[in-house]
Amino acid sequence: MRRRLAAILVLTAMLWLPAVSTAPIVNAGSSCTGWGSTRIPPTSIRVYRTTGPHAGTVQTVDFKTYVEVVLAAEWPPSWPTAALQSGAVAVKGYGWYYAMNSRGGSGSGGCYDVIDNSNDQVYWPESKSATAGEVAAVEATWYESVTRGGSITLTGYRPGNDVACGSDSDGAHLFQHSARNCAAAGMTADQILQTYYGPNVALLKPPVRPAALFLSPGSAEPLTALSSATAIWTEEPGAGTSIASRSLALQMAAPIDGSCAVDRWLPASPPWTSTGASPQTATGLKTGYCYRFVVGLTDSASNTAYAVTGTLKVDPLAPTASFSNPATGTIAAFGNPSATVAWTESPAPGTQIATRTLTTEYAAQPVPGSCAGAQWLDGGTTHAASGPVMGGLVHYDCYRWRLTLVDTAGHSGTWLSGVLVEPAS
């Protein structure tokens, strides 16, 4: 029997859901959302729906919306502010944990992180919506996370009994009724969280200065680039502030012994800068050089901080590719559950393509019918030649494909297809 860490509460009465038939968890073969930060919350979460008009499918849901809906379903809105805030952190931490630690769940539409019922947390957007107090509780604690040993903690919770504050604490669950008594006695949300998840946990709070997490180029191994590169990042404002301005710049350096591990970076030539939000694409990269992006964030309190991406190396001998479907550079409405992905390949003279890696990337539509500003996530890989049929496309999502080719001489290059926009229905 799978563990049950969340329960629905209606005011102060405990109400357990009846058994619900759910999709079986199978080995999906790859990570799902695969979020990597313990400071910046995920931008989205993959939810297997068992109720409502989308039952049987996997939806990509804005993470803050997910937390607000779950809090509305799992916590009475009339409870003290500190109880709602501790509940918001628990709900968020539970989803955050599984956005970082895949259990291999798979259903119609691909992998999922959580199920929408009492097997995980109740996500019923068709019938549950957060009150102003619940929204405020989520906002007040949005950049707070509970960690243990440097990792996100699985913040389970249960109704428990109406007993003295903390008397039923077990270090793994927030017992809602006794936690309410803690709030009524004047404890803060942080004190409640330490009481139930402590003592060996750390509560990470928003930093004094803003912070950025680059999703691409990431901080891992250097990537091979051609004549353009796209920077994608998420932002964490400092405590009580918002991001007021951004400055993104491209830097370059000559490799040393073929490596981009250099100690001196200069402004790119020709210069390239931007003040726009994520994502931003730089063009005009020169062969044989290393590049990286630097973003500066200034908040509403005039604090400024900088973040640096991993490195890119422009390889003139890398094989090239061009997508014919979805055609490179296009954004097209599609509306089908599967798509044939096709491209042409051009290896350098004297070489052949040794390996191919085709990665499906998906994103929730920031605005219905648009993929502008989407935060792309990994949806699994294949090593097929041109022409594979990629299934499991679902409504409300955007799709694109990332192709990496490696030739027999060891040179590699990566290309992005155009974008398919799945309609709302």
Whether residue 94 is found in the same domain as residue 240? no
Tell me, yes or no, whether 290 lies in a domain: yes
Average pLDDT for residues 267-289, to the nearest whole number?
A: 93
Residue 394, in any domain of the structure: yes
Q: Of the candidates 299, 314, 329, which is a domain's last residue?
A: 314
**Would residue 239 count as lying in a domain?**
yes
**Residue 1 located in a structural domain:** no
Percent residues over pLDDT 70 in the chain? 91
- 160 vs 166: CA distance, rounded Å: 11
Q: Which H/E stretch holds residue 86?
A: helix 81-100
Whether 18 and 147 share a structural domain: yes
What total number of domains does the chain contain?
A: 3
What's the pLDDT score for residue 7?
39
Helices (H), 23-77: 63-74
Assign 90 to helix, strand or coil. helix
The average confidence (pLDDT) of the chain is: 86
Largest separation between any pair of C-alpha atoms in the chain? 76
Residue 93 corresponds to which tokens in the numbers above?
């931490």
pLDDT of 38-94, one tens digit each? Answer: 888 998 899 999 998 889 999 989 999 999 999 999 999 999 999 999 999 999 999
Confidence of residue 375 (pLDDT cuts 50, 70, 90): confident
Residue keyed to tokens 């409405």: 333
Torsion angle of the four alpha carbons 256, 262, 263, 268, in this order, in degrees rounded to the nearest 10: 100
Q: Please indicate, yes or no, if residue 416 is contained in any of the structural domains.
A: yes
Rounded Cα–Cα distance for residues 81 and 103 (Å): 33
**Strand duo 114-115 + 44-48: pairing:** parallel
Mean per-residue pLDDT, 142-170: 94
Look up the domain containing 137 and give its range. Answer: 8-204
Q: Looking at residue 141, what DSSP letter applies?
A: T
For residue 222, whether the previous peptide bond is cis, meaning omega lies within 30 degrees of 0, is: no
More confident residue, 303 or 104: 303
Summarised one tens digit per residue, pLDDT across range 203-245 is 988 878 898 888 788 766 567 777 888 888 888 888 788 899 9
Residues 6 or more apart in contact with residue 18 via CB below 8 angstroms: none
Same domain, 162 and 236: no
Identify the residue with better confidence: 199 or 272: 272
Give the residue with greater pLDDT, 208 vs 347.
Answer: 347
Read off the pLDDT of residues 299-317 as tens digits, 9 standing for 90 and up. 999 999 999 998 998 888 8
Q: Backbone dihedral region of 371: left (phi > 0), alpha (psi from -120 to 50 degrees) or beta?
A: alpha
DSSP string over 99-151:
HHS---EEEBTEEESEESSTTS----TTT----HHHHHHHHHTTT-EEEETTE
Q: What is the pTM of this model?
A: 0.68
**335 in the same domain as 231:** no
* The two structure tokens encoding residue 368: 């219905």
For residues 356 and 392, membership in a common domain is answered with yes
Specify the pairing of strand 228-236 against strand 312-314. unpaired
- Looking at residue 310, which CATH number applies to its domain? 2.60.40.10
The confidence band for 373, taking pLDDT boundaries of 50, 70 and 90, is low
Model pLDDT, residue 348: 87
Map residue 193 onto helix, strand or coil: helix
Domain-located, residue 2? no
Q: Which residue has the tokens 């974008």?
A: 419
3 inside domain:
no
Domain boundary among 171, 204, 237: 204
Q: Is residue 264 part of a domain?
A: yes
Average pLDDT for 358-377: 79
Alpha-carbon gap, residue 182 to 215, rounded angstroms:
39
How many helices and strands, by DSSP H and E, does the chain display? 5, 32
Q: Which residue has the higher pLDDT, 384 or 27?
A: 384
pLDDT at 28 over 50: no
Identify whether residues 24 and 170 lie together within a single domain: yes
Within this chain, do residues 112 and 158 fall inside the same structural domain, yes or no? yes
User: What whole-number distance in Å separates Cα of residue 294 and Cα of residue 276?
Assistant: 13
Q: Please compute the mean of the pLDDT values over residues 128-135 and round it to a whole number.
A: 95
* Structural contact between residues 124 and 69, judged by C-beta atoms closer than 8 angstroms: yes
> In terms of domains, do 54 and 87 share one?
yes
123 neighbors 140 (Cβ within 8 angstroms): no
Same domain, yes or no: 148 and 127: yes
- Which of 173, 204, 235 corresponds to the end of one domain? 204
Write down the pLDDT at residue 12: 31
Same domain, 199 and 264: no
Q: In this structure, are 108 and 167 located in the same domain?
A: yes
Is the predicted pLDDT of residue 99 greater than 70, yes or no? yes
Looking at the structure, tell me whether residues 87 and 218 fall in a common domain: no
| pLDDT number for residue 397 | 87
pLDDT over 60 (residue 124): yes
